[in-house]
Amino acid sequence: MIRVAIVDDHAALRQPLAFMLEREPDITVVAEAGSLAEARGIREGVDILIVDVDLPDGSGIDLVRDLRDANFEGMVLVLTDRTNRAEVARAVEAGASGVLDKSAGVAQIIDAVRRLNAGEHLLPPPEMIELLRLASRLREREQHARAILSRLTPRELEVLQALGDGLNDKEIAVRLHISAETVRTHMVRILGKLGVDSRLRALVFAVRHGAVTIA
């Protein structure tokens, strides 16, 4: 029997998939989880782990990486948006054994489970190599972005966060107990350090790399 575990926060999708897999004579579902926290308890007795990328407490890609670091011996099948090449590349680099589009039908998932269990690759080697190269480039860009953001002072990060909260200069000044002129001075310095020419570009950069959160 191929022992499968499913990690997906949508019970309306996870449970029917588990039901359909259980109907196969050579597959059994040994565990289900709806979050990263629950899934981290899955370690042994699993041949194929099916993981959705979008989980309520983080990314399924982080789970793949954690499991590989913990010497998880099973294969990991990641469900993601195949049009998002960056996400697919990160999944492959993290150690995913295969990647399927979230829109894949049950028959495709069953076929992927059997192929992975038999030691087959779902992606051709040339595509795997290209995805690993893309992941390397993305990691270098992320490291560069973090280095740039490290130039910002705690106060400048507070100004950026306030901007992300939709506040104008006067409102930022009130929140931070400084003058509006000081807010504008901080913004000029922020633009210079980030190498952008507008507040919007600075905010987008900060949000993209996790320095600012948007509610």
Domain residue limits, the chain: 2-138, 151-208
Phi, psi values for residue 78, rounded to 5°: -100, 135
Phi, psi values for residue 27, rounded to 5°: -130, 140
State pLDDT tens for residues 144-182: 888 999 999 999 999 999 999 999 999 999 999 999 999
Pick the CATH number of 151-208 from 1.10.10.10, 3.10.20.30, 3.40.50.2300, 1.20.1260.10: 1.10.10.10
| 2-138 and 151-208 have identical folds | no
Identify which of 45, 44, 123 has the alpha carbon closest to the alpha carbon of residue 77.
123
pTM for the full predicted model: 0.69
Architecture of domain 2-138: 3-Layer(aba) Sandwich (3.40)
State pLDDT tens for residues 93-146: 888 888 898 888 999 999 999 999 998 888 877 887 887 888 788 888 888 888
